[in-house]
């Protein structure tokens, strides 16, 4: 029950914060793109949270108690947070002042990409029981090399990049997309630092890297 209450509080806090950023900067509750994103983001998030509460409460608890211990990773998390705030504010201002217009077919394609990214993220959580929001190696952790991890080393980050680059287009803003693009570089920094830790602390990870060459996208990086 305590875990359920904490998860609900975090969900509601996130919903209120995002709604405030979007509708506040837009100056209107008629921002359709904002309602679309809130639905696409928080309905699956609620369902995934329920599934974790029932099937993997320890994983849900670890994600709620998320806290980075590595200095570089704390910087990455802070930069990501600022980037998201800037993206949502720019999207709202774009709606208010009509700076750009995204064709409806691109909006729906972005919505589909976001849903596919969410499905990919859920599959990663199913495959890797050691998955954590923080960069760490825990006692008893093993290298996961099957499923999506047999294609790329960091499928969770592949999923989040797809989702987060889709968000500005769901909101109907090219300017917000431009604001979000640096997220790719931020994730690259996070991955390189994370791999340094894994090579040092996780048995079998170096051999795994020789087997799976690509970090995020096959034949790209």
> Does residue 162 form part of some domain?
yes
Q: Please give the residue range of the domain that contains residue 54.
A: 2-130+142-211
pTM of the model: 0.86
Count the domains in the chain.
Answer: 1
> Does residue 91 form part of some domain?
yes
> Does residue 219 form part of some domain?
no
**Are the CB atoms for 36 and 111 separated by under 8 Å?**
yes
pLDDT exceeding 70 applies to what percent of the chain?
Answer: 91
> Does residue 165 form part of some domain?
yes
> Does residue 136 form part of some domain?
no
pLDDT at 136 over 80: no
Over its C-alpha atoms, the chain yields an Rg (Å, rounded) of 18
Predicted local distance difference test score (pLDDT) of residue 134? 59
72 or 126, which is more confident? Answer: 126
Q: Report how far residue 44's alpha carbon sits from residue 46's, in angstroms, rounded to the nearest whole number.
A: 5
> Does residue 21 form part of some domain?
yes
Split at pLDDT 50, 70, 90, the class of 99 is very high
Least trusted range by pLDDT, from 9-23, 54-68, 100-114, 117-131:
54-68
pLDDT at 133 over 70: no
> Does residue 137 form part of some domain?
no
pLDDT at 105 over 90: yes
CB atoms within 10 A of CB 201: 12
Report the pLDDT averaged over residues 173-195.
Answer: 93
Which residues lie below 8 Å from residue 157, measured CB to CB, with a gap of 6+? 187, 190, 191, 215, 216
């Amino acid at each position: 029950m305590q875990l359920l209450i904490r998860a609900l509080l975090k969900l509601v806090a996130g919903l209120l914060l995002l709604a405030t950023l979007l509708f506040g900067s837009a100056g209107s509750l008629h921002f359709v793109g904002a309602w679309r994103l809130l639905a696409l983001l928080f309905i699956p998030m609620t369902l995934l949270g329920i599934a974790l509460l029932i099937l993997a409460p320890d994983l849900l608890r670890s994600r709620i108690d998320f806290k980075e211990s590595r200095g570089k990773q704390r910087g990455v998390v802070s930069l990501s947070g600022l980037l998201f705030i800037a993206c949502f504010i720019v999207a709202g201002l774009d709606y208010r002042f009509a700076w750009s217009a995204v064709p409806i077919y691109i909006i729906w394609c972005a919505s589909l990409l976001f849903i596919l990214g969410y499905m990919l993220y859920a599959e990663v959580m199913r495959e890797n029981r050691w998955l954590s929001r923080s960069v760490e190696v825990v006692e008893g952790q093993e290298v996961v090399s099957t499923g999506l991890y047999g294609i790329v080393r960091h499928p969770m980050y592949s999923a989040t990049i797809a989702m987060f680059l889709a968000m500005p287009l769901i909101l109907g803003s090219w300017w917000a997309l431009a604001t979000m693009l640096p997220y790719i570089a931020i994730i690259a920094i996070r991955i390189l630092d994370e791999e340094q830790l894994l090579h040092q602390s996780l048995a079998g990870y170096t051999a795994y890297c020789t087997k799976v060459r690509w970090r995020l996208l096959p034949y790209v990086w």
